Amino acid sequence: MPSRHEILSPLPPVNPGEMHVPCVLLVDNSDSLNCKGPNGRVPIDELNDGLVAFRKALDDNPLALGRADISIITFNSTVQTQLPFAPAANYVAPTLTASGCTAMNQGILTALDAIEARKSEYKNLGIPYYRPWLFLLTDGLPTDGRYESEAKRRLHEALQNKKLNFFPMGVGNADIAHLKSYTADGSGRVLKASATHFKEAFVWVSNSIGLVVNSDPRLGTVNLEPTPSNVALL
Amino acid sequence: MTLQPGSALTGLRGDRYILGPEKGKGGEGIVYAVKNKPSLAAKIYKAPNGMLERKLKCMVDHAVSPYIDGKLMLAWPQDVLYSNGRFAGYTMPLVKDVSPIYVLCRNNPDHVNDCHTLFPTYRWSYSVVVAYHLAWVVDHIHKNHYVLGDMNSNNIVIHKDGSVTILDVDSFDICDPVTGEHFPCTVGLPEFLAPELQVPDLRRAKFSEHSDDFALAIHIFQLLMNNYHPFNSRTLSEYKRSTPLNPQQMNIVQGNCPYVKQIPNVTRPVGAPSLQFLPARIQTAFRTTFNYDEINALSRISSRVSADMWRQLLYDLYERIRKGEMKVCGNNPEHMYFPSHGGCPFCLAQQAAPASGSGASASTAPPPSSSVTRSVRSGSVTRSSPAPVSGSGKKAGRLSFFKSLLS
């Protein structure tokens, strides 16, 4: 079973003289993403378009493009590292297919492991870094409940120690209250989008990373881009 | 009414300006081309206010020439813009075909947005020329009694001939020579801020010529030292983060520059060259600016090397390169070094990289064969640049490049 283990090797950071920001896009590719939305579009297609739009948005911010390292991890019945950590300039949008259940908790654990590994690589090389980003997108309830307490414990620990920026986003029929319970003391922010506005959400993530590298990390919280009109902050 | 391409604005002396296409967007406003005056650009503020208006009027009344020796070096405000009598923004010379300075500092194996974008035949000597021009323009601003303030790498752009232009001049820290009103700089990117500016609120900080000199030294360091920041370091013992400052900022506050002093359990980052290959006077200049500690940091502010001094030091280095005193590296013709140094400092640093990271996990070393979409450079020697050509031909090319830059 490939779950929770990286199959491909990460690529080393480029521009080692500059501060880096590691960012994991942890996305749901369970079977429910095959269900046609109200506009007749299939969510998994929207998701794939979003991953392409993310690439274009990264290109619009050359400072961030040289400092961000991106990894894409998906979860359905298993967790798969679709794109191990690599410089943003090397990001190629994967084409995802949807099937199976929703192993979101294991996905979170894999993502946190990947971030820790990238951080220790930075430390070994002497590369300073901004607070890592974990962007989680799901449209359902996790089906791997036995990992839930571990996933929450590690998330909460990272958030309390200010070691992570966590942005969960629920789409379609996602259970927002349940997602909220993963945020810092269960009251953090959750993004909500209809199942047809993934693209805007990914562009928002990219623009926000652009703001991070142009901001003062002392402030802790960055003034993020306003969320797009069809992505609500709950 | 929102201003947009096609909107007409009026200047201080009644000149009319028609906004052209959008050129760029920032936190404070939008920059447009000016349709009826193609050599100008117009910045329109999102939130114009009275203080900005007085500051810009002062800058127009007490203008510094944007041109030095015929080169556009400063996007200095040319006129203050009004829309139906209301202050809206200002005009400045239009800056075209440039790259931000951080692009020149980057040198990536796959050439994505790095020095080759600007200079397809990049050589280390080009960075020296750019550093020289940067010191020159900062000196010019200081001689006119202005302070740049926010010297971040988005505000410094490089032309294809190696000259430098400073943008966002409206964030300068200035004093009105007539009314005495102080218009402080209140923004900055921490990686270029001097220790006295590493405070929670920049509105309470005091920018000065000396804080510019500190930022200038960081830019020069990054240009000459393969993009490494002087305050990035590698901690050999367990890494602790007990303050809200990141390690780079902590190092600036505490004066932990691993290139100019011995710090227990701290070394240069993996792959960073040693300072030793630079001329002794340039090494001394970096030591003078970066060798301080948390206790004496404030008392050392005024002893930092000035922009004028940097300009002279870099001109001397350029002269030595012009006379052929530096050798082109046989492995990578982009590298240069003084023969007395023995070997190429950049190649040495990169060869040492895997060994010095030996305690690290397997993921630290580049993967032996990449399973993703490109090959990974394991050392500088494998880059796909042309093989070094015989000395005379190359030297001639380099000389003419320099001549065209400085004529």
Quick check: B245 pLDDT over 80? no
Provide the sign of the torsion angle of the four alpha carbons B163, B168, B173, B178, taken in this order: positive
How would you label B242-272 residue by residue, b for 16+ Cβ within 10 Å and e otherwise? Answer: eeebbbbbbbbbbbbbbbbeeeeebebbbbb
Same domain, B290 and B168: yes
Same domain, B211 and B84: no
Domain that includes residue B346, residue range = 98-358+374-380+388-396
Same domain, B108 and B39: no
Number of structural domains (chain B) is 2
**Binary contact (A218, B357; C-beta < 8 A):** no
Q: Is A226 part of the contact surface with chain B (CB cutoff 8 Å)?
A: no
Of A215, A223, A188, the C-alpha closest to A61 is A215
Does residue B407 fall inside a structural domain?
A: no
Tokens of B80: 């203050």
Long-range contact pairs involving B261-265 (C-beta distance under 8 Å, separation at least 24)? B261/B291, B263/B233, B265/B235, B265/B236, B265/B237
> What is the structure's pLDDT at B106?
96
Same domain, B124 and B203: yes
Same domain, B172 and B263: yes
Quick check: B89 pLDDT over 50? yes
ipTM of the complex: 0.88
The CATH number for B37's domain is 3.30.200.20
**A89-98, B163-172, B367-376, range with the lowest pLDDT:** B367-376
The CATH number for B253's domain is 1.10.510.10
Does residue A57 fall inside a structural domain?
A: yes
Does residue B181 fall inside a structural domain?
A: yes
CA distance A196 to chain B (A): 28
Quick check: B366 pLDDT over 60? no
Number of structural domains (chain A) is 1
Long-range contact pairs involving A108-111 (C-beta distance under 8 Å, separation at least 24)? A108/A26, A108/A134, A108/A136, A108/A151, A108/A154, A108/A155, A108/A182, A109/A4, A109/A147, A109/A150, A109/A151, A109/A154, A110/A3, A110/A4, A110/A73, A110/A79, A110/A81, A111/A24, A111/A26, A111/A71, A111/A73, A111/A136
**A183-197, B140-154, B180-194, range with the lowest pLDDT:** A183-197
DSSP B204-246: G----HHHHHHHHHHHHHHHHTTT--TT--EESS-----SSS-
Does residue B367 fall inside a structural domain?
A: no
Does residue B404 fall inside a structural domain?
A: no
Quick check: A3 pLDDT over 80? no
When CB atoms are compared, the residue of B108, B189, B235 closest to A15 is B108
The CATH number for A59's domain is 3.40.50.410
* Torsions phi, psi for A84 (to 5 deg): -70, 165
Domain that includes residue A145, residue range = 21-233
Does residue B401 fall inside a structural domain?
A: no
Of B5, B36, B3, B31, the C-alpha closest to B91 is B31
> What is the structure's pLDDT at B387?
24
CA distance B10 to chain A (A): 32
Strand B79-83, strand B86-93: pairing: antiparallel
> What is the structure's pLDDT at B383?
30
Alpha-carbon distance B219 to B313, whole Å?
A: 15
**Binary contact (B363, A17; C-beta < 8 A):** no
Q: Is B191 part of the contact surface with chain A (CB cutoff 8 Å)?
A: yes
Chain A, residues 153-212, CB within 8 A of chain B, namely 162
How would you label B89-121 residue by residue, b for 16+ Cβ within 10 Å and e otherwise? Answer: bbbbbbbeebbbbbbbbbbbbbbbbbbbebbee
Same domain, B56 and B139: no
Tokens of B175: 């004093």
The 10s digit of each residue's pLDDT in B289-310 is 999 999 999 999 999 999 999 9
Does residue B406 fall inside a structural domain?
A: no
Quick check: A195 pLDDT over 70? no
Does residue A82 fall inside a structural domain?
A: yes
The answer to whether residues B228 and B102 touch, using CB atoms and an 8 Å cutoff, is no
Q: Is A222 part of the contact surface with chain B (CB cutoff 8 Å)?
A: no
**Binary contact (A63, B100; C-beta < 8 A):** yes
Residue B11 confidence class, pLDDT cut points 50, 70, 90: very high
Mean pLDDT of chain B: 85
Quick check: A2 pLDDT over 50? no
Does residue A7 fall inside a structural domain?
A: no
Q: Return the residue in A19, A55, A58, A71 with the most chain B beta carbons within 10 A, the one to mutate for interface testing.
A: A19
Does residue A12 fall inside a structural domain?
A: no
Provide the sign of the torsion angle of the four alpha carbons A219, A220, A224, A227, taken in this order: negative
Query: Number of A:B CB contacts under 8 A?
Result: 132
CA distance B403 to chain A (A): 30
Alpha-carbon distance B141 to B307, whole Å?
A: 10
Q: Is B396 part of the contact surface with chain A (CB cutoff 8 Å)?
A: no
Average pLDDT value for residue range B218-244: 84
Does residue B38 fall inside a structural domain?
A: yes
